[in-house]
């Protein structure tokens, strides 16, 4: 019998094969996702690992100089747990909303908006505001800093080894050629090999660094175990922001073939952050033990510049960042495309997507060539917005969606969220002060 379409504005319940309705309590959003090229569980693990394992790990020994050995190790595990907790809050709340409203998938901003839609009118307005902030922040997340890093690093190595005197802008334009090809990859699934190579290169950097570190016996003499009041904030800033990858939580989970493997026990997120906590703790501790208070902001600076291995670390770092650009670039381009695709005829979809990516990359390269010290100002933007994005917004989503009674015995979840909100405020204030001080030092 021919099915009669529903009247406009009427939503039909999903139907099983036996024509029986699926009630919201039995609706499983994972079964209704339509992902043309889903990513495997292993591929997603590689992406998650790479998103939180970057060249920032080379600064972790300097963080341990500020935090001390005992506090440093405990802090690494605490921040790994905190990042994992934020991911669990966001994804689980998104799943509950999808189940309740019979929606297959939601993004970051959509989850925030729909979570707030359950509250009072004032909270609903907040949800819309937060969604717009999230979408625009993620869409404006640039790869400028990455392009500048690759260009300047290659300039230092090549000019030092060859005696050339090529400018920084020349190297940035040269880097733009492979970046142009990498950023045309539109599916996360096909970016897995790039993340895998980048991860291997970062691990190679760590191994080479350990060769320098263990050239002499290590000693704990005059090594700090605990931080002072003045050094706690710098430690937290380095380690937490090195581990955080909030902007990639939803893009990676939403593209999985088996999204139920993302959370849970052990789950991709949990395994990833356990591995990272161990790696960060070990590398940070031995790096600080080796160089003590002389350890530099990046441990590479402690290695002899004339040594070929030191140049190898720099080149491997540059190539690792180069191979990471595709994954970082995926988020802003997908959000921008969602806002534009309805206005583009289907026949022009492929060309329009390619044009959008080329245009966004051209803006990034132009900014990299034209704005000096842009990385410092981007650091200030990250110091202000990252605690909001990575801590406050997950707390808001969880609190609003559970309000007023779903907080457990003695409302322990509400107390926990309040404590995390205060901690996020501490990170916001200290990170902003540190970034402003860096800008003042830069222009002295």
Q: What digits encode the pLDDT tens for the residues 92-128?
A: 999 999 998 898 988 888 899 998 887 777 788 888 8
Residue 63 has which token pair?
Answer: 């963080």
The per-residue pLDDT for range 55-74, each reduced to its tens digit, is 788 889 999 998 999 999 99
pLDDT in tens, 222-240: 888 998 888 888 888 888 8
SS3 427: helix
Indicate the pTM of the whole model: 0.84
**How large is the average pLDDT for residues 331-348?**
86
Residue 18 scores a pLDDT above 60: no
Residue 9 belongs to a domain: no
Distance CA 239, CA 99 (A): 35
The alpha helices in 16-56, defined as continuous H runs, are 41-52
In a domain, 20, yes or no: no
As a whole number of angstroms, the distance between CA 48 and CA 266 comes to 14
Domain assignment of residue 1, yes or no = no
pLDDT of 12: 39
Residue 358 located in a structural domain: yes
CATH code: domain of residue 53 = 1.20.1740.10
**What pLDDT score was predicted for residue 443?**
67
pLDDT at 144: 82
Look at residue 8 in the predicted model and tell me its pLDDT.
Answer: 35
CB atoms within 10 A of CB 430: 17
- Could you report the per-residue pLDDT of 363-379, keeping only the tens digit for each? 888 888 887 666 666 66
* Residue predicted with more confidence, 251 or 5: 251
Calculate mean pLDDT across residues 423-430.
86
Distance (Å) of CA 371 to CA 151, 362, 364, 367, 375: 14, 14, 10, 6, 9
Tell me what pLDDT residue 10 has: 35
Domain that holds residue 97: 36-443
Evaluate whether 91 touches 253 at the Cβ level (below 8 Å). Answer: yes
The angle subtended at Cα 297 by Cα 292 and Cα 300, nearest 5°, is 85
293-331: burial string, b at 16+ Cβ within 10 Å, e else: eebeebbbebbeeeeeebbebbbbbbbbbbbbbbbbbbb
Q: Indicate whether 264 belongs to any domain.
A: yes
Residues 343 and 108: their CA atoms lie apart, in Å, by: 23
Is 19 a member of any domain?
no
Q: pLDDT at residue 11 above 50?
A: no
Neighbours of 397 (CB within 10 A): 26
- Total domains in the fold of the chain: 1
| Mean pLDDT (whole number) for 252-279 | 90
What local confidence, expressed as pLDDT, does residue 372 receive? 60
- Domain membership flag for residue 13: no
Residue 297 within a domain: yes
């Amino acid at each position: 019998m021919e099915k009669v379409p529903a009247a406009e504005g009427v939503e039909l319940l999903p139907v099983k094969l036996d024509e029986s309705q699926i009630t919201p309590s039995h609706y499983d959003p994972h079964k209704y996702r339509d992902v043309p090229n889903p990513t495997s569980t292993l591929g997603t693990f590689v992406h998650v690992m790479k998103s939180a394992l970057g060249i920032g790990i080379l600064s972790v020994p300097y963080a341990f100089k500020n935090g001390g050995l005992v506090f440093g190790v405990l802090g690494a595990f605490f921040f790994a747990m905190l990042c994992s907790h934020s991911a669990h809050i966001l994804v689980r709340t998104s799943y509950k909303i999808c189940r309740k409203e019979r929606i297959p998938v939601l993004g970051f901003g959509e989850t925030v908006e729909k979570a707030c839609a359950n509250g009072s009118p004032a909270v609903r307005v907040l949800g819309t505001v937060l969604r717009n902030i999230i979408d625009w922040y993620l869409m404006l997340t640039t790869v400028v800093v990455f392009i500048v890093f690759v260009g300047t690093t290659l300039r230092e190595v090549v000019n030092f080894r060859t005696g050339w005197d090529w400018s920084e802008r020349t190297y940035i334009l040269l880097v733009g050629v492979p970046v142009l090809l990498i950023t045309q990859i539109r599916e996360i699934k096909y970016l897995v090999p790039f993340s895998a190579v980048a991860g291997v290169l970062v691990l190679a950097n760590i191994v080479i660094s350990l060769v320098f570190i263990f050239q002499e016996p290590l000693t704990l003499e005059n090594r700090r175990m605990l931080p002072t009041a003045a050094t706690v904030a710098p430690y937290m800033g380095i380690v937490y922001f090195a581990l955080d990858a909030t902007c990639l939580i939803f893009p990676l989970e939403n593209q999985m073939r088996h999204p139920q493997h993302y959370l849970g026990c052990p789950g991709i997120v949990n395994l990833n952050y356990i591995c990272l906590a161990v790696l960060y703790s070990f590398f940070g501790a031995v790096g600080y033990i080796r160089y003590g208070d002389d350890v530099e902001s990046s441990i590479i600076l402690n290695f002899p510049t004339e040594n070929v291995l030191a140049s190898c670390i720099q080149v491997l770092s540059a190539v690792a960042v180069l191979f990471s650009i595709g994954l970082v670039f995926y988020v802003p381009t997908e959000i921008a495309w969602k806002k534009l695709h309805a206005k583009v005829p289907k026949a022009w979809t492929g060309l329009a997507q390619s044009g959008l990516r080329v245009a966004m990359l051209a803006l990034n390269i132009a900014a990299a060539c034209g704005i000096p010290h842009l990385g410092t100002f981007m650091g200030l933007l990250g110091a202000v917005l990252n605690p909001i994005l990575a801590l406050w917004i997950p707390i808001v989503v969880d609190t609003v969606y559970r309000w007023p009674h779903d907080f457990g015995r003695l409302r322990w979840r509400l107390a926990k969220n309040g404590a995390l909100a205060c901690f996020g405020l501490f990170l916001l204030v200290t990170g902003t002060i540190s970034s402003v001080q860096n800008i003042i030092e830069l222009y002295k």
